[in-house]
Amino acid sequence: MDGEQVGQQALRLHIPDTERGPGAEPPEVRFISAAGEMRRPELDEPVERIALMRKQMVRVLDDDGAATGPWDPQLTADQLRTGLRDMMLVRAFDARLLQAHRQGKISFYMQCLGEEAIACAHKRALHPADMHFPTYRQQGLLIAGGYPIVQMMNQVLSNEADPLKGRQLPIMYSSKEYGFFTISGNLATQYVQGVGWAMASALSGDTRIASAWIGEGATAESDFHAALLFASTYRAPVILNIVNNQWAISTPEDFARGASATFADRGFGYSIPALRVDGNDYLAVYAATRWAAARARGNLGPTLVEWVTLRRGAHSTSDDPSVYRPAGEASHFPLGDPIANLQRHLVTLGQWDDDRHAALSNELDAEVAAAFAEADAHGSVKSGHTADPRTMFDDVYAELPRHLREQRDQVGR
């Protein structure tokens, strides 16, 4: 084909696959490796060599529940059970709050069903003092970090005890103490802020690193580019996480990925080493996080990680996914379920069994129920038990300026 010859052909625009809905085929997950197949690059391996692994995936757990290959983080049985517990607690927590939404107690909720391993293992693999810049689907960072779930519930209920005083939409948590940056409703903004935080830590000769989070859909936002570029230019000690859960509300990953093979590919153009990791494999998440963190701590710069998973539930309580999701998508998903995967591994190791699992499940349900009862006792936005409305004028500035004082005086007058 040559330039001169094709000149008069009519152009046409390519629109990525528009077929969706219950009748459509579940989308295929691209490029899945067998567990243990992908080698573990050196921390300072050139980006070209890492990029050659672009169609491979870090996986540790095989279909029989055995851990295999160079990425096995060699966790103790206790660590594995802790991981299982973290994930199950997240799931129980989500379930209880979804129920609260159905009960009309809260205005809004977003679960992370099926994605629990990513935040839980990542949090455990980092230092508690490291700072996360999360999206709305990393409740696991708080829960695995030991943040009191009753506080999270208070926030979701926007009740009298809500640490954020009813200001934020449910699930938009904030906790500096637990290394969890205040969640923004505006997608992607936190990504470049995370890079800035990491730059500040490096400027200060600190040892803490940052970990910034984004959904695959939100990588389309402009701040994604700014984040990668500044991280690349200043070699910021930051982990740049992309959670690819296949969906952005109703839109499959194709729109944000474009023609490229994977989201991890985006790293190459900035010379940021990038991994694709089975996000439903607790061990793979743990190991890849450690690898990226070691790079950051060793002043080797940022790492991009695409965590491949599936958003099993709706986008939020505001949407009805049955319109756009293919039937049976979750059961077709080739990476399984993160809790079942880790459970199988522990059983295989002889460190777990069905009875212990059922007991833990009951224990966590009870813990969640108790926490919810405690939070619920503080009322909710629906019951009118909130912080004093006049507190909305606080924290707009460090000190209340005159015009806000005047406005506050008019509330409830």
Partner 1 sequence: MTMIEAIRDAHAVAMERDERVVVFGEDVGYFGGVFRCTQGLQQRFGSHRCFDSPISEAGIVGTAIGMAAYGLRPCVEIQFADYVYPAYDQIVSEAARLRHRSAGDFTAPLTIRMPTGGGIFGGQTHSQSPEALFTHVAGLKTVVVSNPYDAKGLLLAAIEDDDPVIFLEPKRVYNGPFDGHHDRPIVPWSKHPLSEVPEGHYTIPLGEARIHRPGGDLTVLAYGTLVHVAQTAAEETGIDAEIIDLRTLLPLDVDTIVESVVKTGRCLVVHEATLTSGFGAELSATVQERAFHHLEAPIVRVCGWDTPYPHAHEWSYFPGPARVGQAMLEVMGR
Ligand X SMILES: Cc1ncc(C[n+]2csc(CCOP(=O)(O)OP(=O)(O)O)c2C)c(N)n1
Subset of residues 347 to 406 that bind partner 1, contact rule: CB under 8 A: 381, 386-387, 389, 392-398, 401-404
- Residues 243-282, one symbol each (x = binds partner 1 by CB under 8 A, - = not), give -----xxxx---xx-x------------------------
Which tokens sit at 323? Answer: 């319109």
DSSP string, 358-397: HHHHHHHHHHHHHHHHHHHTT--TTTT--S-GGGGGTTSS
Measured from the Cβ of residue 68, the count of other Cβ atoms closer than 10 Å reads: 16
Indicate which of partner 1, its own copies, ligand X, none lies near residue 319 (CB less than 5 to 8 Å, by partner kind).
partner 1
Indicate which of ligand X, partner 1, Mg ion, none lies near residue 137 (CB less than 5 to 8 Å, by partner kind).
ligand X
Q: Which of residues 92-131 bind partner 1 (CB under 8 A)?
A: 107-108, 131
362 — phi, psi (to 5°)? -65, -45
Asked if 149 contacts 93 with a C-beta cutoff of 8 angstroms, the reply is yes
Does the footprint of its own copies cover residue 8 (CB under 8 A)?
A: yes
Residue 245: CB minimum distance to Mg ion, A = 4
Q: Which range binds ligand X by CB under 6 A, 66-74, 116-124, 216-224, 227-235?
A: 216-224
Does the footprint of ligand X cover residue 344 (CB under 6 A)?
A: no
Rounded to whole angstroms, how far apart are CA atoms 161 and 375?
8
Which tokens sit at 321? Answer: 């996914």
Indicate which of ligand X, Mg ion, its own copies, none lies near residue 391 (CB less than 5 to 8 Å, by partner kind).
none
Q: Which of residues 273-332 bind its own copies (CB under 8 A)?
A: 290-291, 293-294, 296-299, 301
Residue 251: CB minimum distance to Mg ion, A = 9
Residue 233: CB minimum distance to its own copies, A = 4
Indicate which of partner 1, Mg ion, its own copies, none lies near residue 245 (CB less than 5 to 8 Å, by partner kind).
Mg ion
Rounded to whole angstroms, how far apart are CA atoms 391 and 408?
9
Residue 375: CB minimum distance to its own copies, A = 36
For 117-268, where are the E strands, in sequence order? Answer: 131-133, 210-215, 238-244, 247-248, 251-252
Rounded to whole angstroms, how far apart are CA atoms 372 and 152?
10
Helices 77-102 and 116-125: angle between axes, nearest 10 degrees? 130
Residue 254: CB minimum distance to Mg ion, A = 12
Does the footprint of ligand X cover residue 185 (CB under 6 A)?
A: yes
Asked if 35 contacts 65 with a C-beta cutoff of 8 angstroms, the reply is no
Q: Which range binds Mg ion by CB under 5 A, 243-251, 299-307, 337-345, 364-372?
A: 243-251
Q: How wide is the angle at C-alpha 40 spanned by C-alphas 35 and 46, nearest 5°?
A: 140
What burial letters (b/e) apply to 110-126, b meaning 16+ CB within 10 Å? Answer: bbbbbbbbbbbbbbbbb
Residues of this chain that interact with ligand X (CB under 6 A) are 137, 185-187, 215-218, 245, 247-249, 311, 315
